[in-house]
Structure formats: structure tokens, C-alpha cells
Amino acid sequence: MLSLIVSIIVAAAQWQYFKKMGHEGWEGIIPIYSTYVIFQELYGNGWRMLLLLIPLFNIFVIFKLNIDLAHAFNLNTGFGIGLTLLAPIFSCILGFGSSIYRDGSMARV
């Protein structure tokens, strides 16, 4: 029961930070599509999410993705690491907090 409540809260947080990014909220709660949208927003190419299929390299990709997502919301690298390791807590902070999405294009380097 508790896990259901946490899942609903995290889904609502993802809905909110997708709206902050200028997308529809429902795009944040569709599992594979939301990953595609984040890669598209940050890197300009959603198909880069296929890098997550490479064993061991996917760990680096997940950390880089979350750090770049934190930077796009004008938050520091530590927040991005927290977003990776404690995703439910930091997703709620990102979605319900006062952070403003500035731009993900700086991650396209």
C-alpha cells in the first residue's frame, strides 16, 4: 500500500516537472516515452536513450542524464547525483519545488 502511495506521488512530481519543461504532463508518466522525451529535450536526439542498453556504460549514461537534467533546472551536480540515487525524493523536490527549467540545450555538447 505504501509503495502505491509513493508511486502516485512520484508520478505527480514527474507530471509537474514535465510541465515545467514545457511538455504535456502525461508524457512524464509513460515509462519508455518519458525517457525518450528527456533525451530529446536534453540532447536533441531521443534515440540516444538506446545507450541505456549497453551494460555497464548505462550506469554512466544514467548519472550523466540526471546531472544534465539538474543543470537544466539550474541545480548543482550533487542534486543530479541525488536524483540518480534517491529518485523518489529528488523527483518530488524537482517537481514540487521552486526550481525553474531554463534550458536543456547546454547538455548537447
Quick: pLDDT tens for 42-58: 998 889 999 999 999 99
Q: Where do the domains of the chain lie?
A: 2-108
- Give the cell for residue 60: 554512466
pLDDT at 100 over 80: yes
pLDDT band at 103 (very low <50, low <70, confident <90, very high): confident
| C-beta neighbour count of 62 within 10 angstroms | 15
Report residue 25: phi and psi, to 5°. -65, -35
Region of residue 97 (phi > 0: left; psi between -120 and 50: alpha; otherwise: beta): beta
Q: What is the mean pLDDT of residues 62-81?
A: 95
Is residue 74 within 8 Å of 42, Cβ to Cβ? no
CA 11 to chain centre: 12
pLDDT at 62 over 80: yes
CA-only gyration radius of the chain, Å = 13
